[in-house]
């Protein structure tokens, strides 16, 4: 059975790649989170 791209992407983001946890998992990623949110706040 062939899997379509939507199903593959949904499974990847649901089960394997959790963005929220990545950004607070360690200090390096936390700095990325702070930097990104600072730039977003300046633009809003």
Residues of the domain holding 12:
5-43
Model confidence at 1, pLDDT cuts 50, 70, 90, reads very low
Counting the structural domains of the chain, the total is: 1
Return left, alpha or beta for 30; rule: phi > 0 is left, psi -120 to 50 is alpha, else beta: alpha
pTM equals 0.49
**Model confidence at 6, in pLDDT bands (50, 70, 90)?**
confident
Q: How does the average pLDDT of the chain come out, rounded?
A: 79
**Stronger pLDDT, 42 or 15, i.e. the higher one:** 42
Please determine, for residue 40, whether its predicted confidence score (pLDDT) is greater than 90.
Answer: yes
Secondary structure string (H, E, C) spanning 1-44: CCCCHHHHHHHHHHHHCCHHHHHHCCHHHHHHHHHHHHHHHHHC
pLDDT score of 25 more than 70:
yes
């Amino acid at each position: 059975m062939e899997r379509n791209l939507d199903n593959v992407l949904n499974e990847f983001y649901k089960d394997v790649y959790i963005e929220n946890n990545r950004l607070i998992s360690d200090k390096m990623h936390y700095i990325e989170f702070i930097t990104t949110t600072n730039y977003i706040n300046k633009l809003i």
